[in-house]
Amino acid sequence: MDILSRNNVRVFGKGTQAMVFAHGFGCDQNMWRYVTAAFQQDYKIVLFDHVGAGLSDIAAYSKEKYSNLSGYASDLLEICQHLELENCIFVGHSVGAMIGVLAAIQAPEQFEKLILIGPSPSYINDGDYIGGFEPADIHAMLEFMETDYMGWSGAFGPFIMGNPDQPSLGQELTNSFCNTNSTIAKHFARVVFLSDNRLDLPKLKTRSLIMQCDQDMIAPTEVGEYVHKVLKDSTLVHLKATGHCPNVSAPLETISVMEKYLAAV
């Protein structure tokens, strides 16, 4: 199978070092459209869709392969290897961030730096660990999704996006959810929201930037601080942006923080 077609890979930009962007759940590479323009003069931009999202090849989807995040990390590494990328800058949003962490643990030579936007190794509260949700909340959400995916999309799109004063942002995320293959999305949601990658974090050796939003209902402040504490050689920046998707709701701040990190480290 052609890897570039499988993941709808797009490559553009005038630089030599690659900057690879990985989107989050229910989204596709279009969610980076406000950010990539700022970097395409200095970097080779690589965009892709996770299998089951966007214009990826849905025929490539396998429940077995994608039963955990390692299957998605494998795809990311295959893209990098196919394009002969080394020491690239990885930018991941939400679960895309954790996919990048797993890939960098497996093949550290592929990545020079990781930029992690709203990462979460586990969404479920566990003792002193604050993930943001009680187990019953996660299971109720997944059941809602199973019984009424469109209704779930309409309810959770604005919830995840935040920024209620800009309802068009929540509507965009809702539309993105609705345009995703619902069968695959429901399975991916279970993989994402029931995953626990806390024990993987100490294995990461790649330098990383953690970008944490205020009022993020999916990855609260405690999660960002936990990830920063556990990841060696990491930098934590608290954004003024609110919600879970600053790449869409606050792209100028997102770009500014990325530029400062890349220039300083």
State the DSSP H helix or E strand holding residue 237, giving kind and residue range, or none if neither: strand 234-242
Burial class (CB in 10 A: 0-12, 13-18, 19+), 233: exposed
Pairing of β 44-47 and β 10-12: antiparallel
Closest alpha carbon to 222 in 212, 232, 231: 212
126 backbone dihedrals φ, ψ, rounded to 5°: -150, 100
Q: Which residues are catalytic?
A: 94, 216, 244
216 backbone dihedrals φ, ψ, rounded to 5°: -90, 110
Structure token digits, residue 68? 């955990």
Two structure tokens written together for 240: 């003024």
